[in-house]
Amino acid sequence: MITAKRLQQLAPYPFAELNRKKQELKAKGKNLIDLSIGDPDLGTPEPIVTCMQEAVTKTQNHRYPPYAGTTKLREAIARWYLRRFGVKLDPHSEILILIGSKEGIANIHYAFVDPGDIVLVPTPAYPVYSNATKFAGGLPYLMPLHKTNQFIPDLTIIPDNIAQKAKMMHLNYPNNPTAAVAPQTFFDEVVQYAKRHTLLVCHDAPYTEIYYDGHKPHSFLQSPGAKEVGVEFHSLSKTFSMTGWRLGFAVGNADIIKGLAQIKMHIDSGQFMAVQEAGIFALDNEETLTPEIRNTYQERRDVFVEEMKKFGFKITPPKATFYLWTEVPPGQTSATYATHLLEETHVVVTPGTAFGEAGEGFIRIALTAPKEKLIEAAERIQKIQ
């Protein structure tokens, strides 16, 4: 059967191919240590699970939810944003509940991107930014993230004719895959850039609560004027180890939120209200629920980096996220080195090119395994160097 052209223009989803290779080795009985996918291995905190169990029994939660999400959840998000970032949000017009932030990021293109519109997309990056642009008929213009610029896009090198035609800009900090953290001054620069060029800014921020050494990342919305030009996407997936629960939200500019809500009204019927009730509990108790999660990842980061340094590897400890973005050895490409590790050590990492051509020369390692496994992974890698 001939598929639609929008599918034909896409490369195979990188993680699908990685999963295929992993399954082949598993079928051969190989003992894999999988550090490739950003899916927390930590369980959701028990108090959230208990809240969900109780919420599931409530008959009122079995009905269709409000399209924008329950008022109580939107109010809880407003409380959390004010407490965490000092940002005031109107729960009735500046917050929209999503079935995970990924679907909101994808759907926003249908509300604001017409065929032929240019969308500024970072590279390397989460594939949904570029792919969703193409689905909507838009044209991704890639903004490279280079080590020499701390993996922050240099807005000054975007050609004027591109900037004038661009409709939207995607950003993601703390960053996946590079683990970079953007300073507030960069967000301030983005706001002014967006105003000059009438750009809509979409900031994907699911990793703001996975930070280390007490250095809390900023919200894009903390910059003066940010709500005039953009929205921020957030999720409970990483903050509370709730990836499978599919609960996220978009916050910010009321007109942008309205446009996204109109698209979603024709596509989905919202998130199960019991999940939303658990989300309220999680956000209202974030300060007691998240420290253990952060501490676990920080311990893993410190242990793994120390082990790798013992073997002569140069790895910069990330300030946030649970990823390590590290350069491959001389003479190797991202793909050849990731394949080499997979076949020779059975340690699974993600080649940087899975996030775009600008990821060449790097691999991404996810700290989503117990520290004992991370130590074993380091020892396996050392044996083939």
Q: pLDDT tens-digit profile of 144-153?
A: 999 999 999 9
Query: pLDDT class for 13, splitting at 50, 70, 90?
Result: low
pLDDT digits (tens, 9 = 90+) for 85-95: 999 999 999 99
Burial of 155 (0-12, 13-18, 19+ CB in 10 A): middle
SS3 content of the chain, % helix, strand, coil (to 5): 50, 15, 35
Cα distance between residue 273 and residue 229, in whole Å: 30
Place of tokens 């910010």: 252
DSSP 49: H
pLDDT digits (tens, 9 = 90+) for 41-69: 999 999 999 999 999 999 999 999 999 99
Helix pair angle (101-112, 254-265), 10° resolution: 100
Q: What is the mean pLDDT of residues 336-362?
A: 94
Of the candidates 252, 274, 250, 276, which has an alpha carbon nearest to the alpha carbon of residue 264?
Answer: 250
Per-residue exposure over 314-335, b if at least 16 CB sit within 10 Å of its own CB, e if not: ebeebebbbbbbbbbeeeeebe
Query: pLDDT class for 17, splitting at 50, 70, 90?
Result: low
pTM above 0.75, yes or no: yes
Q: Is 96 helix (H, G, I), strand (E, B) or coil?
A: strand
pLDDT for residue 194: 98
Q: What is the mean pLDDT of residues 341-348?
A: 93
Cα distance between residue 230 and residue 12, in whole Å: 30
Query: pLDDT class for 196, splitting at 50, 70, 90?
Result: very high
Cα distance between residue 320 and residue 179, in whole Å: 6
Distance of CA 313 to the CA centre of its chain: 27
Cis status, amide bond into 174, omega within 30 of 0: yes
Q: What is the mean pLDDT of residues 72-85?
A: 98
Q: Delineate the domains of the chain, giving CATH numbers in brackets.
A: 5-44+290-383 (3.90.1150.10), 46-288 (3.40.640.10)
Cα distance between residue 35 and residue 382, in whole Å: 16
pLDDT for residue 384: 80
CB-based contact 297:367 (threshold 8 Å)? yes
Residue 211 clears pLDDT 70, i.e. is over it: yes
Of the candidates 32, 36, 35, which has an alpha carbon nearest to the alpha carbon of residue 345?
Answer: 32
Determine how many CB atoms are found less than 10 A away from the CB of residue 350.
25
pLDDT digits (tens, 9 = 90+) for 246-282: 999 999 999 999 999 999 999 999 999 999 999 999 9
Q: Residue 135 pairs with which residues in a beta bridge?
A: none
- Find the largest Cα–Cα distance for the chain: 61
Residue 14 clears pLDDT 80, i.e. is over it: no
Q: What is the mean pLDDT of residues 125-134?
A: 96
Residue 316 clears pLDDT 70, i.e. is over it: yes
Q: Residue 324 pairs with which residues in a beta bridge?
A: 365
Per-residue exposure over 47-65, b if at least 16 CB sit within 10 Å of its own CB, e if not: ebeebbeebeeeeebeeeb
CB-based contact 250:260 (threshold 8 Å)? yes
CA distances from 274 to 73, 102, 247, 277 (A): 11, 20, 11, 5
Cα distance between residue 70 and residue 280, in whole Å: 10
Residue 5 clears pLDDT 90, i.e. is over it: no
Q: What is the mean pLDDT of residues 121-143?
A: 97
With a pLDDT cut of 90, the percent of the chain lying above it is 88
Query: pLDDT class for 1, splitting at 50, 70, 90?
Result: confident
